[in-house]
Structure 1
Amino acid sequence: MQHRMKTHMMTKEKIEYLLNRTTTCSIATLNADGTPYVTPMHHIFHNGYIYMHGLPKGTKIDNIKANPRVSITAYEMDSLLLDPKGNACDTNTKYQSVIISGVAAIITEVDYKREILMEIVKKYTPQLSDTVLPENMVAGTAVIKVQILDITGKYYG
């Protein structure tokens, strides 16, 4: 276990708070040749799952279909903590971060997709939360659901 995980572990409540307030995360999938592929995404943490949305085709979707195991990270950097004596090597960072290991699936059921897309609208554009999503937009959007297998959070500062 990393040193900071021993001394600066976030509680479940703080992890969930970070996931709910951050606007982006990165999802790592594996390419067919085994190399990692990392994509920045908008996300929501809803009912114990991470959800993301995007185009229904592309490398990320192909990778999830071939191997659904993923890793997600979300973080906030607050500020640099400069050493009072000016030693560059003793500069630190005030931050919070969450790392998730999970299994991703592409949601195909239309009503479920619509429900999750509305939750995404509520987070990112709450002023539009009473809007009805067009059927073609719901049908043409990929919604990724990540079942969380392991989740850790740490902070400093």
Structure 2
Amino acid sequence: MQLVKKYEIQSKQKIIDFLNSQPAGRIASIDKDGYPQVIPMNFVYFNDAIYMHSHPFGEKLDNIRRNPSVGFEVDQHVCFLPSYYFHPTDASQADTLYISVVIKGRAEIVEDREEKAKALNALMEKYQKEGRYEALDAEMPVVEEVAIIKVIPSDMRGKYKIGQHWARPYRLKMAKNIIMREGLENAKPVLAIMGIKVASDGNLEIEQDPVM
């Protein structure tokens, strides 16, 4: 994936933090006819790999056994920016704020029960933060009943456009446009990603430059 430097996420830790903040990713494997098969999956980044749990039978598992080279992608749509933010009539000026990570790697179906249990516990920690469950161990039957897919990245790149390329006054101008279109409450999560805070008097304040 070719990236413009100003849009590339420079920090590996920020890539990992972004991955584990997102509810779903998409794994792409190659089917028996040579076509990409893209499947949305729950996942966790854990011990330098992507882990997913799956039904023990299915096409994606057959694909991985036949060809372990896969892609994995996660993205967050932050906000659509209509063309009239930038030009009165030119529709080509429309844009989008977003964050994305694309991984190329080697997939395998985990057989080791200890590793499977650790992966399942990491998934539970991500998705059920409130707890209220018994941690799994390798001897539990459920560990044998599910498949665990592991993707070991050979290349992992992140890209983001959340206003970091705008000068501060222009970013505040865009923030006001977003509030006018989306409403204040809907705009607040977008502004937070852009590093902008709504003060108690309603004014906008830049808390930090949104660098990843």
**TM-score higher than 0.5 here?**
yes
Q: How many residue pairs align between the two structures? A: 156
**Structure with larger Rg:** 2
Q: Which amino acid aligns with 2:32?
A: A
Shift of 1:130: 4.5
**What residue number does 2:119 align with?**
116
Deviations 1:26-79 (A, max 9, x none): 000000111110000011011211111110110000000110000000010110
Instruction: Say whether residues 1:104 and 2:103 are aligned partners.
Output: no
**What residue number does 1:7 align with?**
6
Q: Matches of 1:46 and 1:115 in 2, distance apart?
A: 9
- Please report the RMSD computed on the Cα atoms of aligned residues, expressed in angstroms: 1.7
**What residue number does 1:69 align with?**
69
Deviations 1:72-96 (A, max 9, x none): 0001011012232343221111000
**What residue number does 1:23 align with?**
23
Instruction: Say whether residues 1:137 and 2:142 are aligned partners.
Output: yes
User: Where is the strand percentage greater, Structure 1 or Structure 2?
Assistant: 1
Shift of 1:112: 1.3
Structure scoring higher RCO (CA < 8 A, sep ≥ 6) equals: 1
- Percent identity between matched residues is 35
**What residue number does 1:125 align with?**
128
Unmatched 5+ residue regions in structure 1?
none
Q: Using a 3 Å threshold, how does the CA distance of structure 1 residues 62 and 129 change in structure 2: closer, same or farther?
A: farther
**What residue number does 2:199 align with?**
none
Q: Matches of 2:141 and 2:91 in 1, distance apart?
A: 54
Shift of 1:9: 0.4
Could you tell me the TM-score, scaled by structure 1's length?
A: 0.92
Q: Contact between 1:106 and 1:143, CA under 8 Å: does it hold in 2?
A: yes
Q: Which amino acid aligns with 1:26?
A: R
Unmatched 5+ residue regions in structure 2?
163-212
Q: Which amino acid aligns with 2:5?
A: K
Q: Matches of 2:26 and 2:122 in 1, distance apart?
A: 19
Q: Contact between 1:122 and 1:129, CA under 8 Å: does it hold in 2?
A: no
Runs of 4+ in 1 over 4 A off after TM superposition: none
Q: Matches of 1:90 and 1:136 in 2, distance apart?
A: 56
Q: State the secondary structure of the residue aligned to 1:128.
A: coil
**What residue number does 1:94 align with?**
97
